[in-house]
Amino acid sequence: MTWKEKTIALFDRFENPSFSARNRFLRSATWLAGADDDTGEISSAEIGRHTEIAAGGAGTIITGSAYVNRNGKSLRRQWGLDTDERISDVAVLADAVQRFDSKLIVQICHAGGQRDAAVIGGTRSFSPSGGIHPGRDFGTEPLTQSDILSIRADFAASARRAQKGGADGVEIHGGHGLLLTQFLSPVINRRDDIYGGPLENRMRIFREILSDVREAVGIDFPIWFKISIAEGTAEGYKTEDGLAVAKTLLSDGADGIEVSYGTGYAGAANSPSVIGISAGGTEAPFREYAAELKKYVSSKQIVVLTGGLRSLPVISDLLQRGVCDLFGLSRPFNAEPDLVNRWYEEDPRPSACISCNACLRTAEYGMVYCPVMRDRNEGSWDPL
C-alpha cells in the first residue's frame, strides 16, 4: 500500500451533521499580529496569510483570537470583533477563505488579566478576583457580577457579528491562561460567590457564555470551545477538571471541543506551544485527552486535536484509532502555508516546522512569520 493509500482518509471530505469540511486538516488559531492596534481592524496582509493557507489545502481556518471588548485585548496588533464595524472584516476574510472551499471559524476571546502591558493604555484590566496575573507586573480589578454579565453579552454580540459576516462558526477560547481559564484556576480564582470555589461554580461562566451565544446565533450555527485540559501548574486545575468542563459543555450543546493543554505562565514544559516536537515519538502530546473526550461526543459533535502534529503517519494513525475528528496545526502553517497540498500532491515528508517558536518572536518587527523557512529560501520572500 502506498503512502497516499494509507493516508487518503485525511484528505477525503469530512462530513458531520453539525459541520463539514473539504478535509480533516485545520489551521488552529494563531496570533499573527496583523491588525490595526488602534481600531482592531484586520489587515489585508493578515487576510492574505489566512487565504494562503486555505489555498494551500487546509479544509478549515480558525482565525487568531478576536477580542470581544477593548478591556479584553491581550496582544499588540490583535484583531477585534468588538464593534459592528468589524463585521466587514469577517465578510472579506470569509469570502477570501471560502473561495478555496475552506471553512472559516472565528475565534473570540477575553484576556482577563493576561495582557501585554503595551495594550493597556486607556483601558481597564480585569480578572476573576483582581490582583496581579501570573507573569505580569500590573494589577487587575476584580470582576463584579454585573461585569460578568456584560462580558457574557460581549461574547454573544461578537459571535453574532461573525455570523453576520459569513463565518461558518465560532470558537470560544477557554484555554491558554485567558479569562475563562482564569475562572477555572483555583489559584487565580479566589471568589466566594457563585463563580468561585467548587468546579461547578468555576466553570459556570463557560456554560453561561455558551447559552448566551447559542441564543444569539441560533441552533444551526456551530459553536466550539478551545480548552486547556489542564492548567499545567502545580496548584492549578488538573486534567480531570478540564475534561469535566469539556464534557459538560458537550452535554450543554457545544458542537465541538478543540483539545489543547497548558498556559503561557506554566513554563516551557507545559506551554501550549510545545518546543522540541519532531516527527514520530514526540508528536501529538495531547492525544490521550482527545481520545478520552471522544468517548463522550455524540454523532453531531466534533473533537479537534491540536498541538505538535507534524507527520502524515502519526496523524493517519490517530484518525484510524478514532482519537479525534479534525487535526489542528498552527506553527507548521507559519512555516509552510501550502503544507496540505504538498502532502497530498507530491511530498509526504513531515512538516518543515522544527517547533523552535522563533515565529512567535517575529511579532516584534511586524506580522508573524517563520524566519527559519525564510532563511532556507535565501530571503526570497519577505514578511508581510
pLDDT at 384: 40
pLDDT at 358: 86
pLDDT at 347 over 70: yes
Q: Rounded to whole angstroms, how far apart are CA atoms 267 and 74?
A: 19
DSSP 23-64: SSEEE-------B-TTT-PBPHHHHHHHHHHHHTT-SEEEPP
Chain mean pLDDT for the chain: 93
Nearest Cα to 84, choosing from 165, 166, 148, 152?
165
Q: Which three cell numbers stand for residue 120?
A: 493597556
Residue 13 binned pLDDT confidence (cut-offs 50, 70, 90): very high
Strands (E), 90-166: 103-109, 126-127, 131-132, 139-142
pLDDT at 379 over 80: no
Q: The pTM is what?
A: 0.95
Would you say 383 and 366 are in contact if contact means Cβ atoms under 8 Å apart?
Answer: yes
The neighbouring-strand residues paired with 169 are: 105
pLDDT, one tens digit per residue, over 130-178 is 999 999 999 999 999 999 999 999 999 999 999 999 999 999 999 999 9
pLDDT, one tens digit per residue, over 173-196 is 999 999 999 999 999 999 999 999
pLDDT, one tens digit per residue, over 55-94 is 999 999 999 999 999 999 999 999 999 999 999 999 999 9
Top pLDDT among 179 and 363 is at 179
